[in-house]
Amino acid sequence: MSFFDCINAYTMNRTLLIAACASLFTLCAPPQKETTSSDKPAPITEQPEQEEEKLQTVAEFTTRPGNVAVSQEDRVFTTMHPLDPSDFQLVEVTGGTHRAFPNTDMQKNGGAASAEKLDTPLGIRIDQNNVLWIIDMGQNLGITRLFGFNIANGEEVFRLDFPEEVAPAGSFIQDLAVDEQNGWVFLADIANPGILAVDMQQKTVRRFTDKTVEAEDVDMVIHEKVIHFGGAPARVAVNPITLSHDRNTLFFGAMNGTQWYSVPTQLFRDAASDANIAAAIQVVGDKPISDGAATDESGQHYFTNLQEFGIDVLSPEGELQPVIRDPSIDWPDNVAVGSDGSLYIVINQLFKAPAFTGGADAGKPPYFIKKLTR
């Protein structure tokens, strides 16, 4: 049975479960050889001493949060992961609790999917103009949609329904980077591996494909066990995607990947061919197997490290080092940088969900957004 046949079979019973599962694990690569714990990669560096007092809880959840974004005023927003049924799909964290954003009317609240409501959003960013952007994969609605909201008043300032030719059935477009200076949004599709580039003014979308957006033949090993989905080791394509502070450089890499790439954004604005864009791609440095990344003003790249329960940082000079290791960081789904340089981390035990275990949910609430003060 193919990967998408598996998805269709699961959908008959738990549509929301598979939506997020597919958004994280795609088996597009050819079948891989059987692997054992002896194949797991060595740690990138020696584990540093822990300073637990610096890791603070921002919010707790009984269902899994998805991705987190932080405004210049340190307002905290998160999507709720489609893997766990939740009344709300997008919330603002306030005083340790949370409220629907932009309002309750846009939340599905257990109802059927509709064009007037959020469906299965996951990726989220806040740009330098304090516009909150989310990509809604539309796994129930059947349409991928990009939204922008003014966080000052909750007003919807942008919406684009992606045409089927660039976001066909089976796409899982679930991470994004926003260039508010030139009016572009860049997104990662892990199921049909590619980078999508949105011209905000023209409301057009193009798809770029290249070998660099595909998964590497490298296993994800957690607790000395190779993570499987659908009976084979997972191979997840381009996922983390960020921009430089001046918006001139796009950075990206596969979840199942060890290389962090860069390419000039001007090439997309100039409508360069895929071949010319591919020729300009460079390796920035190494990265861990990671579900999320953030790039700060100084050019530091922060990665979630799924295998080692922590966060890593890649310097502008290309040196990869651990920032934190803590067993409580149990599947760091994504990371965002606060105004003071603090790191906000979603921790949601995603690999313990039934779609990965093949049985009962081994996750144990609460799930967290935590803040690492630096």
Query: Looking at per-residue confidence, does 6 or 126 come out higher?
Result: 126
Question: Do 63 and 84 touch, CB atoms closer than 8 A?
Answer: yes
Place of tokens 């952007």: 133
pLDDT of the residue at 130 = 96
pLDDT exceeds cutoff 70 at 364: yes
Tokens (6 digits) for 294: 């953030």
Residue 72: inside a domain, yes or no? Answer: yes
Band of residue 85 on the pLDDT scale cut at 50, 70, 90 = confident
Question: Do 189 and 238 touch, CB atoms closer than 8 A?
Answer: yes
Task: Give me the domain span that covers residue 119.
Answer: 3-31+51-372
pLDDT of the residue at 136 = 97
First to last CA, the chain: 48
pLDDT exceeds cutoff 90 at 266: yes
Q: Which of 240, 80, 104 is nearest to 175 (CA)?
A: 240
pLDDT of the residue at 109 = 87
Three-class DSSP category at 360: coil
pLDDT of the residue at 138 = 94
Residue 67: inside a domain, yes or no? Answer: yes
Tell me the average pLDDT across 121-145. Answer: 96
* Amino acid identity, position 212: T
Residue 76: inside a domain, yes or no? Answer: yes
pLDDT tens, residue by residue, 21-79: 334 333 333 334 333 333 433 333 334 444 555 899 999 999 999 999 999 999 999 99
**DSSP code string of 234-257:** -B--EEEEEE-TTS-EEEEEETT-
What lies within 8 Å, CB to CB, of 351 at 6+ separation is 222, 227, 306, 331
Tell me the average pLDDT across 202-213. Answer: 98
Band of residue 232 on the pLDDT scale cut at 50, 70, 90 = confident
Three-class DSSP category at 373: coil
Q: What CATH number is given to the structural domain containing 274?
A: 2.120.10.30
State how far the Cα of 238 lies from the Cα of 281, in Å rounded to an integer.
14
Residue 157: inside a domain, yes or no? Answer: yes
Residue 42: inside a domain, yes or no? Answer: no
pLDDT of the residue at 110 = 86
pLDDT of the residue at 230 = 62
pLDDT of the residue at 3 = 36
- DSSP lists the bridge partners of residue 344 as 336, 371
Longest dimension (CA), the chain: 53
Residue 327: inside a domain, yes or no? Answer: yes
**DSSP code string of 100-160:** ESS-GGGS-TTS---TTS--SEEEEEE-TTSEEEEEE--TTTS--EEEEEETTT--EEEEE
pLDDT of the residue at 4 = 36
Q: Taking the alpha carbons of 232, 233, 237, 242 in that order, is the dihedral positive or negative?
A: positive
pLDDT of the residue at 121 = 97
Tell me the average pLDDT across 331-346. Answer: 97
Give pTM, 2 decimals: 0.86
Question: Which element (helix H / strand E) includes 208?
Answer: strand 204-208
pLDDT tens, residue by residue, 249-265: 999 999 999 999 999 99
Residue 38 has φ and ψ, to the nearest 5°, of -70, -15
pLDDT of the residue at 39 = 41
Residue 62: inside a domain, yes or no? Answer: yes
> What is the number of structural domains in the chain?
1
Question: Do 332 and 291 touch, CB atoms closer than 8 A?
Answer: yes
Place of tokens 């197997």: 289
State how far the Cα of 105 lies from the Cα of 103, in Å rounded to an integer.
5
Query: Looking at per-residue confidence, does 16 or 64 come out higher?
Result: 64
The mean predicted confidence, pLDDT, of the chain is 87
Residue 37: inside a domain, yes or no? Answer: no
pLDDT tens, residue by residue, 177-205: 999 999 999 999 999 999 999 999 999 99
Residue 106 has φ and ψ, to the nearest 5°, of -85, -5
Tokens (6 digits) for 193: 């591996």
pLDDT of the residue at 358 = 76
pLDDT tens, residue by residue, 267-320: 999 999 999 999 999 999 999 999 999 999 999 999 999 999 999 999 999 999
